[in-house]
Amino acid sequence: MLRRSAGAPDGASESRAASVIRLVMAADAHAAADFYLTARGAVTARLLRQQLTAIWPALRGQTVLGIGHATPYLRLWRDQAARCIALTPAQMGATRWPAGAPNLSCTAEEDALPFPDLSFDRILLVHGLEAAENAPRLLREAWRVLKDDGRLLVVVPNRAGMWAYWESTPFGHGQPYSFGQLGRLLAASLFRVEQRHTALYVPPVTWRLVLRSAPLFERVGRRLLPGLAGVAITEAVKDVYAAVPVKRVPRRRLVLAEAA
């Protein structure tokens, strides 16, 4: 909680507090961007792209929204999608994307996305849900802007994996989830889980030998230790019927009359 300084005017105190908040917010987005510039970040992006491509192999002519820090993965579909936008929640700060091209990124409050209803065919949520100030509200906004036949893909740190506890990576911050927890959260937000996947069995270390052996770790981990993946990936669709109010069934009125 922010407290006003007794010796400073309200306006000056609030200005300083706002500056501090902006610095903290910006640090998250910039730290994630810096991570993907490292060798470990490049391996992470490559492994996750393989999984995302297997789930969504082609999105030609579709509209795609990435929420969180999704820019390392939106490149998979940018050239084929009709529209591809990266949105960073305000508490994470703003980053420009793509470099050297017209800007396709924006920042907004997570519970007030600046898009009309039913705007997108696909929504990718990565480095976003675990950092959300209000996860249910973020998901309800995603539900609102997603088309009725659209699909949501959520990538979160797995509570049982090492990556959730390694603070030198973006997955080591915020709220990790198990598949069960994520499924219940999605159901409460009127989504229905369609499929689940895992990734990042490679330890989150910077050793070159480990990074070079990342594909081997993925194959062995998926077979022998499926519950210890670094991230949990869930695809969901809108549960439209859950959002339709049920008509009240008229009750028969019983009239009791005395026998003649």
What's the pLDDT at 258?
Answer: 43
CA 136 to chain centre: 12
Instruction: Say whether pLDDT at 25 is over 70.
Output: no
Mean pLDDT of the chain: 86
> What value does the mean pLDDT take over residues 168-195?
97
What's the pLDDT at 217?
Answer: 97
pTM (whole model) above 0.85 = no
Q: Provide the Cα torsion 235, 239, 243, 245; round to 10°.
A: -170
Token pair 């200005």 is at which residue? 15
> What value does the mean pLDDT take over residues 21-36?
66
Least confident of 95-99, 147-151, 211-215: 95-99
Q: Long-range contacts: 3-11, Cβ < 8 Å, 24+?
A: none
Q: What is the CATH number of domain 11-243?
A: 3.40.50.150
Least confident of 85-99, 129-143, 160-174, 217-231: 85-99
Instruction: Say whether pLDDT at 141 is over 70.
Output: yes
Helices and strands in the chain: count of H runs, count of E runs: 8, 7
Instruction: Write down the domain spans for the chain.
Output: 11-243
What's the pLDDT at 95?
Answer: 82
Using alpha carbons, select from 93, 84, 85, 132 the residue that is nearest to residue 111.
Answer: 132
For 45-56, the pLDDT digits (tens) are 999 999 999 999
What's the pLDDT at 188?
Answer: 97
Task: Give the pLDDT band of residue 244 (cuts 50, 70, 90).
Answer: low
